[in-house]
Amino acid sequence: MFKVILKQLKIHAPYTALGAVTGIIIMVIVVVGKGPVGVSKAIFYGLHPIHVLLSALATTAMFMKYKNKKIWLVILVGWTGSLGIATLSDAIIPYFGAQLLHIPIEFHIPFIEKWWLNLLALAGVMIGYRKQTTKIPHFGHVLLSTWASLFYFVAFGVADWISLLPFMLLFLFLAVWIPCCTSDIIYPLLFVRKNQIAVSPSEDAGRAR
C-alpha cells in the first residue's frame, strides 16, 4: 500500500501545481480588481459544493474498484471521506494556515452551515457506486479544492494578499496535494484488505488516475 500511495502522490503533484498556479492567477485578478468580499464568498460557496460532489464520487469509485459490495460501507467511506477531508482541505487547513501567517480570519465549517452539502456528498457516493470512474472527477477535485482553499482566505481573511503570494503558492500546493490524495486514494484503501490491493496495485491505481 505504501508504494501505491507514494506513486499516486507523485502522479498528482503536477495536477496540484497547476491548480495552485491557476488559483493564484485568479486570486490576483480578484484582488487587483478590488472585487468585493461578497464575490469571494460566493465563489467559495460555489466551488466547495462541487468539490464535495467530485470528492465523494472519486473516493467511492476508488473504493468500488476493489469489488466492495456492502452498500452501507460504501456510503460510510464515500460520505465521510468527501465531507471530512473536503472540509479539512477547503476550510480548516486554510484557517490554521492564516493563523500561522498572523492573518485575521473567520472560522467556518461549511457542511454544518450548509446542511444540503450532506445530500450532495451522498449524491456523489451514488454516482461513484454506479460508475467507477475516477480520472476526471479526481482532476477536477484537485483543481476545485485548490481554488476553494484559496478563496476561503480571500473571503474570510483580511491581509495584503499580493505580498503573501509566494507563501500562498507553497501553502496551496501542500494543503491540497496531501488531503486530496488522502481523500481519493489513501482513505478508501484503508477499508480494503491487503490481498485485494495486491491484486493489481499498479494497474488499478495507475489507471484510476
Residue 196, domain extent? 2-8+37-208
| pLDDT value at residue 204 | 44
Residue 69 vs residues 64, 74, 80, 203: alpha-carbon distances, Å: 8, 8, 18, 21
Q: Domain for residue 194, yes or no?
A: yes
Q: Which residues pair with 105 in a beta bridge?
A: 157
For the ranges 61-65, 121-125, 151-155, 188-192, which has the lowest average pLDDT? Answer: 188-192
Q: Domain for residue 117, yes or no?
A: yes
Q: Domain for residue 17, yes or no?
A: no
For the ranges 127-131, 186-190, 203-207, which has the lowest average pLDDT? Answer: 203-207
Q: Domain for residue 21, yes or no?
A: no
Question: Is there a contact between 53 and 120 (Cβ–Cβ < 8 Å)?
Answer: yes
> Is the pLDDT at 4 greater than 70, yes or no?
no
Q: Could you report the per-residue pLDDT of 8-30, keeping only the tens digit for each?
A: 667 667 777 777 788 788 778 87
| pLDDT value at residue 182 | 67
> Is the pLDDT at 180 greater than 70, yes or no?
no
Q: Domain for residue 26, yes or no?
A: no
Q: pTM (2 decimals)? A: 0.78
Average pLDDT, the chain: 78
Q: Angle formed by the axes of helices 2-32 and 201-208, to 10°?
A: 10
DSSP 192: S
Q: Could you report the per-residue pLDDT of 58-111, keeping only the tens digit for each?
A: 888 878 876 666 888 889 888 988 898 888 888 998 898 888 888 899 999 999
Q: What is the spatial distance between Cα 163 and Cα 15, in angstroms, rounded to a whole number?
A: 25
Q: DSSP string spanning 47-59?
A: HHHHHHHHHHHHH
Q: Domain for residue 22, yes or no?
A: no
Q: Domain for residue 132, yes or no?
A: yes
**For residue 113, which amino acid is it?**
E
Residues across the chain: 209
Number of domains the chain is built from: 1
Q: Domain for residue 64, yes or no?
A: yes
